């Protein structure tokens, strides 16, 4: 799997290269700023991109805007975005399209296996959300709470679903039986009105129901 990285911090950038190569990825380039990223992208056409939210020259939203542009040009192109802090608006924007997208805090990179698994999941068209991001979004103040009808256990299951865990892992983490996990997920979908099979991304759409309710603050203007 061919990966292109964009990260302005030199130590972290080199660390990502070494980490991913150790895990069997082919790193085709590691850009320091956004212009270099686009040059490398056009030259190598990677399978997946790992982007810091804030990149030179402006250190504002360059990485996020690049992710959006990539996915506009090639719908579903896998992108894993890294951020130093939980930024609700950025997460909401990324989740507008639930295919092949990830949003992790940089602290998560220290767990090599977890980070590599998240990148593989994103590259395969799945979703990888940082647990802290999910927790922050699901615990924020609400004006219209679409999750109000969910039980505490269903909220736990929803949080793990949003992080990208499959039913088997949810069962292991919560100590539930396989039928119980399926029952909770079915109940979540029903209560949130996600009754159609659609694209198969109802797991992420359950979190989108929260984000689109107006509960999460909008992205900052620049």
Which tens digit of pLDDT belongs to each residue from 83-124? 887 665 666 666 666 678 888 888 888 888 889 999 999 999
pLDDT digits (tens, 9 = 90+) for 10-58: 999 999 999 999 999 999 999 999 999 999 999 999 999 999 998 998 8
200 vs 7 pLDDT, higher one: 7
CATH tag, 137-211: 1.10.10.10
114-142 average pLDDT score: 77
Q: In sequence order, what are the beta bridge partners of 2?
A: 26
Judge contact between 122 and 101, C-beta under 8 A: yes
What is the secondary structure of 195-214 as a DSSP string? -S-TTS-HHHHHHHHHHTTT
Q: Is the peptide bond before 57 cis (omega within 30 degrees of 0)?
A: yes
pLDDT at 95: 62
At 170, list the tokens. 């949810």
* CATH class of the domain whose range is 2-130: alpha beta
d(CA 147, CA 206) in angstroms, rounded, equals: 9
Report H helices in 74-192.
Answer: 88-94, 112-123, 131-138, 152-162, 167-174, 178-191
Beta bridge partners of 48: 3
CA pair distance 73, 45, nearest whole angstrom: 13
Q: How confident is the model at residue 128 (pLDDT cuts 50, 70, 90)?
A: confident
113: which 2 tokens? 């296996």
- The pLDDT > 70 percentage for the chain reads 76
CA atoms in the 13 A half-sphere facing the CB of 179:
0
CATH 1.10.10.10 placement within the chain: 137-211
In terms of pTM, does the model score above 0.75? no
Intervals of CATH 3.40.50.2300 along the chain:
2-130
For residues 88 and 138, what is the distance between their CA atoms, to the nearest angstrom?
Answer: 11
**Residue 142 confidence (pLDDT):** 45
pLDDT of residue 216: 37
**Which range is least confidently modeled, 38-42, 129-133, 197-201?**
197-201
pLDDT at 146: 65
The CA–CA distances, whole Å, from 37 to 5, 79, 112, 123 equal: 8, 13, 24, 18
pLDDT of residue 217: 35
Hey, which residues does 128 pair with through a beta bridge? Answer: 102
In angstroms, rounded to a whole number, what is the distance separating the alpha carbons of residues 198 and 194? 9
Using CA atoms, how far apart are residues 94 and 87, in angstroms rounded to an integer?
11
Query: What's the pLDDT tens digit per position in 159-177?
Result: 787 777 888 989 999 999 9
Tell me how crowded residue 120 is: count the other CB atoms within 10 A of its CB. 17
Average pLDDT, the chain: 80
On the 0-12 / 13-18 / 19+ scale of CB atoms within 10 A, 99 is: middle
């Amino acid at each position: 799997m061919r990966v292109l990285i964009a990260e302005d911090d030199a130590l972290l950038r080199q660390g990502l290269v070494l980490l991913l190569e150790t895990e069997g990825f082919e790193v085709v380039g590691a850009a320091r700023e956004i212009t270099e990223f686009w040059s490398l992208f056009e030259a190598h056409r990677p399978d997946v991109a790992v982007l810091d939210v804030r990149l030179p020259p402006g250190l504002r939203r360059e990485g996020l805007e690049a992710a959006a542009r990539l996915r506009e040009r090639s719908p579903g192109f896998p992108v894993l975005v890294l951020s130093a802090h939980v930024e609700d608006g950025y997460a909401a924007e990324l989740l507008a399209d639930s295919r092949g997208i990830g949003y992790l805090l940089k602290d998560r990179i220290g767990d090599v296996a977890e980070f590599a698994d998240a990148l593989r999941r994103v590259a395969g068209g799945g979703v990888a959300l940082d647990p802290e991001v999910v927790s922050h979004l699901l615990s924020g103040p609400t004006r219209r709470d679409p999750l109000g009808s969910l039980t505490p256990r269903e909220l736990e299951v929803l949080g793990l679903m949003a992080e990208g865990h499959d039913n088997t892992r949810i069962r292991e983490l919560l100590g539930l039986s396989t039928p119980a996990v399926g029952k909770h997920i079915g109940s979540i979908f029903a209560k949130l009105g996600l009754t159609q099979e659609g694209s198969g991304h109802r797991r992420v759409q359950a979190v989108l129901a929260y984000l689109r309710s107006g509960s999460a603050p909008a992205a900052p203007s620049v």
